Amino acid sequence: MQSFELIALHKSLYYNDPSLFLFTPGRVNLIGEHIDYNGGLVLPFAITKGTYLLVSKRNDKIINCYSKNFDNLGIISFNIDSYEKGSNWADFVKGAIYELNKLGYKLPFGLDLTFLGTIPTSSGLSSSASLEVLIFNCFKQIYNIDISDEKIALLSQAIEHDYIGVNCGIMDQFIISCAKDNSVMLLNCANLEHSYSKFELGDYRILIMNSCKKRDLASSKYNERLNECKWALEIVNKYYKVNDLCSLKFTDLIHIKDKFEDDVIFRRALHCVSEMARVKDCYDALQNNDLELVGKLLNQSHESLKNNYEVSCIELDTLVEAALSQPDCLGARMTGAGFGGCAIAIINKDRVNDAIKDIKNKYLEVIGHECEVYVARVAGNTRILNLGEDYEL
């Protein structure tokens, strides 16, 4: 879709010219999977797939919300001062107002809002966090609210916890709100300490491979892994006093391997400890511009997620195997919660088009339905777009 088409749609919906055009990215976690809740580090980056928003001011207290992605719902309207949950996507807008009201902000006038998301559905690239951060940036600009990117991340998480009712982590909102151009973020999800490393791909590109499989098991298996990790930590603490699994040294875990009566519980701990080491090594490799080592670490991460943490699936494994079969592929792994969603790969730029075609063919042959494969470009955080310039969204 072209930007002028979205602007024309906004005008046809509200008979009003937009005064603000915003874009907020989605995110990919390069490495550091399923260890954020075990005291581990993550290494995410923002991407140029995300959420667009056109805004017009109103003279009343009505908020009108329309999403091109949920065209069947039409325009959803509510009053700033009195609204109820609607069990639809506009609850994220209401949730942002709810959080600002708790801080003492009273929004003085209504808005006409038109959204367009370019993050594939059920891909695990964090469309909800992108939407949340976008809404707060919209309110920041329109209502002149003094609020930092870090605070926007925390408020976006609060929407999930307090209003939507989902007990999510902080990684998605934090990287999306605080991303820097051409960079990855090393983030400690426990205390929000973070640093950045340049993510310069040179002759290589990141491919995102969407399995197009809905992540049906992700939620239940997530809770199962949480409990298994708690069990593993209880065993570890009989011999080493640590606050979380990722604080344990690899040699210490191996030293008490025979204390784990259940091999499954040991393998869960093994993933956490080894993945923590891989995140640190990957961050160092990026600072040294060693993409070959980054690729090897991605491969090791996938093997551990598949065999030790058991959150992969045939769809994700097929994508990874298809990517690794390509010439000049440095590495590949599943990313996100697992049991569907996406995998990523690092491919030489001269091989990208052939690789995309071959990966799609191999996936269709094995799985029986199509996948999506596209190049991920590294993005910064929310930006204001030029209303007078036309470009592809």
DSSP 124-139: SS-HHHHHHHHHHHHH
Check: CB of residue 95 under 8 Å from CB of residue 131: no
Check if the beta carbon of residue 210 is closer than 8 Å to that of residue 26: no
Q: What is the DSSP string of 59-117?
A: SSSEEEEEEGGGGGG--EEEETTB----SSTTHHHHHHHHHHHHTT----S-EEEEEEE
Burial 3-14 (b: 16+ CB within 10 A, else e): beebbebbbebb
How confident is the model at residue 218, as a pLDDT? 65
Distance CA 351, CA 252 (A): 43
Contacts of 161 (CB under 8 A, 6+ apart): 167, 168
Residues 29 and 389: beta-carbon distance below 8 Å: no
Residue numbers of the chain with a pLDDT score lower than 70: 121-122, 216-218
Statement: 204-378 belongs to CATH 3.40.462.10: no
Q: What is the pLDDT of residue 169?
A: 84
In the 8-state DSSP scheme, what is residue 351? G
Q: How far is CA 27 from CA 130, 138, 174, 180, 372, in A?
A: 8, 19, 10, 12, 17
Residue 361, classed as helix, strand or coil, is helix
pLDDT value for 88? 95
What CATH code is assigned to 3-200? 3.30.230.10
Which pLDDT does position 277 carry in this prediction?
97
DSSP string spanning 21-56?
EEEEEEEEE-S--S-GGGT-EE-EEEEEEEEEEEEE
State how far the Cα of 187 lies from the Cα of 209, in Å rounded to an integer.
Answer: 24
Going from N- to C-terminal start, the domains of the chain cover 3-200, 204-378
SS3 157: helix
Active-site residue set = 172
- The Cα 174–Cα 152 span in angstroms is 8
Backbone angles phi, psi at 363, to 5 degrees: -65, -45
CA pair distance 190, 171, nearest whole angstrom: 10
**pLDDT value of position 382:** 98
